Amino acid sequence: MEYNVNRRDVDFILKEQMHYEKLLELPAFKDYSLEMFDMVLDQALKFAQQEVAPINASSDKEGCQFDGKNVKAPKGFKELYQKFAENGFIGSDVPTTYGGQGLPFSVVMPMSEFFSGSSVAFMMYPGLTRGAAHLIETFASEELKNIYVQKMYSGQWGGTMGLTEPQAGSSVGDIKTIAEPQADGSYKIKGGKIFISSGDHDLTENIIHLVLARIPGDPEASTKGISLFVVPKIRVNKDGTLGEPNDVRTVNIEHKMGIKGSATCTLAFGDNDNCIGYLVGNRMAGMKQMFQMMNEARLLCGMQGLSIAGAAYESALAYAKVRVQGQGKTIVEWPDVRRMLMVQKATVEGLRALLYMTAFYEDMGKYHPDAEKREYYEGFADLLTPMCKSYGSDQGFRVTELAMQTYGGYGYISEYPVEQYMRDVKISSLYEGTNGIQALDLLGRKLSLRGGQVVQQFYQMIDEFVTANQNTPVLKNELSEFKKALDSVAQTAMSFMEMTGRGDFNYPMLSATNFLNMFSGVVIGYFLMEQAVIAQKN
Amino acid sequence: MKIAVLLKQVPDTETKIRVKGDASGIESDGIKYIISPYDEFAIEEAIKTKEKSAPSEVIAVSLGPVRVVDAIRTALAMGADKGIHIDDCGLAMDSFVTAKVLANALKNENFDLIFTGKQAIDDDASQVSQMVAEFLNVPQLMLAEKFELGADKKSATIERSVGGGTKEVYTVEFPAVIGAEKGLNTPRYASLPGIMKAKTKPVTTLKASDLVGETKPKTTNVNFRLPPERAAGKVLQGEPEQLAQQLVKLLREEAKVI
């Protein structure tokens, strides 16, 4: 399957909207240069197109195989995983201490777009490994870090995150997996997890599960009592060599609509009371720690929406330019096809700006030397995360629908790539917290960040943009319409806050998703308008 | 062993080429440049040879404006050790002048091996490598599909196709110029750690004006034009017999191929 991306749009956002040279002013990235960023992106795109994209269609047809004991990933994944790791891509955005590459997230975001657009199913494996390793790196003891992290970034061992149980999906607090303290400081893990991506496979010699469990006696039926554990599939000796199997059993794999190359496993821990886990960081801090990974994973879900939407649009566009129908015209010449392509283009470019700029806010929020600036940008990243996740995945799906429509009947046929894109992208609205959960997150947590100050500052930034450019001749009308939309988001937010303030949650919760969509539409409108202003100046 | 790789930066194959208004060349605006793909095979072979013959070093050499330093940096990120950028100083250049400047830059460096692509994919001239070898008075072998370093590390066995499935096998003693053909190897990517390392590797700049001497171009480009646009295909209608007749008629009378 061929993968194409509008590299000009990618560069336009990085160079003219984000001004990625600002990243070089941050001490964390002082060893980089713009030429290096460009080279990284060139190489990543080349790797995506030449190595990752060719296995996308075949892995979808083949899927994962489970023989009752072990899971086999599709043909080619093992070799690709090693190559991907050798090129340093697994830990591209994490510190160099344990083998990461220390790139800014702003550069890793487009890289991820290229990779996921080429095969989102394959990317689940390195994505989960990176997330799990980074959790250990951030929160675990030196001993655990030294044993696990480097081997995960280098591709020797894989990683997963184990949250979901049959009765505990959106309500993670209901998990039943327990961790019984042992005399030597380790824990015995017992319980079952479902929907574990990369839960078992043959890409690496070991798999490191990060499992949420409750230590008996800690608060029940609440996320407050949950702790986080490192649970290796095969035990690791003190010197880092592999020991005995660790009583982790793969029960089954799911048969799914899409991302068929990604192994989604049901795992049983401690069938024989012999599954050892190690506490990560503090007891009962599990949920808080897991949120580091979840927040990143949510942005990556939005990125998946963008990446597949981008791939689907490019594919539909290429098809429309060569498919001849009626009066000897290519279909791109017909107005209704142009309409569909324009909607796809606007959505993809808008999502791209949203995702890249959120990554930029993340970098600034993490690495800016000025604490006040860090707080300012971190707030923006937090505010936009549920929008990236939810709007990115939903609109990504809608784009694949329009891409299919552009193809006509051929789009429905598996000889052409869009039907796979459509199936593959659907999952992004479901996992990592359903999109409904994202809407509640925006409404319940994000609007009230720092007492509503974050959303106010964000509004102010956009409002200042409108004021500064309202006399731009070609955008005058658009900006005045946009201003109305912006203000109606602000008013809606205010009235929701007022309602919840007096204890009326029903209406805001009923409208949460609509509100998220409305807000996201305005945010994307802002980024696209800003692009228009920049383009007009050049 | 001291190994040089000659690199040319060329427009990406996906670039839409536009001819300048006065037909004197192509518009350089908006062009994305890449390392000529055959030169990538050369880089890979140089690095592989280095790995087999430690201690060795690979020096990436490119002639052109400042932008070609990007090509050198990519070679360094892939594993080359040093770079030499020869600034073209805006001089008029054809293959002859290019080869002369390169040869003059290389002649005192005592390279054991010089890898190049068999040709660059922009002008497809396939002249520079051979002329460089001539000016340096060393043997050259173009179209190398297989390169095997001799046990003495002072010679190599090279295979190339001569059509009809026949292979020629040569042995060559160093120093020599080797022109890489597709299939010689699979070039590695510039890995992220490689890109980080490349930053600290030295790139020396030379000036073509200091190296060109009295050499003047022997050829000039008179005119640039795009190939004529391909006309739309024809769809023939009818029964198989009529179709065959129509097709033969068209091939004979219109296409004039039979």
> Hey, are the CB atoms on B190 and A86 less than 8 Å from each other?
no
Angle between helices A453-469 and A476-501 (to 10 degrees): 160
Q: Would you say residue A294 has pLDDT above 90?
A: no
Q: Which of residues 22-61 of A touch B (CB under 8 A)?
A: 31, 33, 35-36, 38-40, 42-43, 46-47
**The pLDDT value given to residue A1:** 87
**The pLDDT value given to residue B29:** 84
**The pLDDT value given to residue A191:** 97
**The pLDDT value given to residue B230:** 83
B77 contacts on A by Cβ (under 8 Å): 39, 43
Q: Does B13 touch chain A (CB under 8 A)?
A: no
Q: Would you say residue A426 has pLDDT above 90?
A: yes
**The pLDDT value given to residue A222:** 87
B191 contacts on A by Cβ (under 8 Å): 43, 86-88
ipTM (interface pTM): 0.87
**The pLDDT value given to residue B151:** 94
- Please write down the long-range contacts of A281-284, taking CB distance under 8 Å and 24 or more positions apart: A281/A139, A281/A140, A281/A228, A282/A227, A283/A215, A283/A218, A283/A227, A284/A215, A284/A218, A284/A219, A284/A224, A284/A225, A284/A226, A284/A227
Is B85:B31 a contact under the CB 8 Å cutoff? no
**What contacts A127, CB < 8 A, 6 or more positions away?**
A297, A300
| DSSP state letters, B14-78 | TS---B-TTSSSB--TTPPEEE-HHHHHHHHHHHHHHHHSSS-EEEEEEEESGGGHHHHHHHHHH
How buried is A336 (Cβ within 10 angstroms: 0-12 exposed, 13-18 middle, 19+ buried)? exposed
Summarize the confidence of residues A225-243 as an average pLDDT: 96
B194 contacts on A by Cβ (under 8 Å): 88
Lowest mean pLDDT among A35-39, A166-170, A351-355, A514-518: A166-170
What domains are there in chain B, each with its CATH number?
A: 2-211 (3.40.50.620), 230-258 (no CATH)
Going by pLDDT thresholds of 50, 70 and 90, the confidence category of residue B115 is: very high
Is A491:A366 a contact under the CB 8 Å cutoff? no
A111 contacts on B by Cβ (under 8 Å): none
Q: Which of A432, A464, A481, A530 is catalytic?
A: A432
Q: Does A6 touch chain B (CB under 8 A)?
A: no
Summarize the confidence of residues B64-82 as an average pLDDT: 97
**The pLDDT value given to residue A302:** 98
Q: What percent of chain B has pLDDT over 90?
A: 83
**The pLDDT value given to residue A369:** 97
Which pair of structure tokens corresponds to residue B168?
């020629």
Lowest mean pLDDT among A527-531, B19-23, B38-42: B19-23
Q: Does A413 touch chain B (CB under 8 A)?
A: no
Summarize the confidence of residues A350-371 as an average pLDDT: 98
Q: Would you say residue B13 has pLDDT above 90?
A: no
**The pLDDT value given to residue B229:** 86
Other beta carbons within 10 angstroms of residue B152's beta carbon come to 9
Whether A432 is catalytic: yes
Q: Does B190 touch chain A (CB under 8 A)?
A: yes
**The pLDDT value given to residue A172:** 87
Strand partners, A181: A187
**The pLDDT value given to residue B28:** 85
Strand partners, A230: A210, A278
Distance CA A117, CA A344 (A): 15
**The pLDDT value given to residue B89:** 95
Q: Would you say residue B149 has pLDDT above 90?
A: yes
How buried is B147 (Cβ within 10 angstroms: 0-12 exposed, 13-18 middle, 19+ buried)? buried
Q: Would you say residue B30 has pLDDT above 90?
A: no
Q: Check residues A291 and A109 and name the one with the higher pLDDT.
A: A109
pLDDT digit string, tens, across residues B189-243: 999 999 999 999 999 999 999 999 999 999 998 999 998 888 878 888 889 999 9
What DSSP element (H or E) covers B106?
Answer: helix B95-106
pLDDT digit string, tens, across residues A365-389: 999 999 999 999 999 999 999 999 9
pLDDT digit string, tens, across residues A243-282: 999 999 999 999 999 999 999 999 999 999 999 999 999 9
Is B120:B39 a contact under the CB 8 Å cutoff? yes
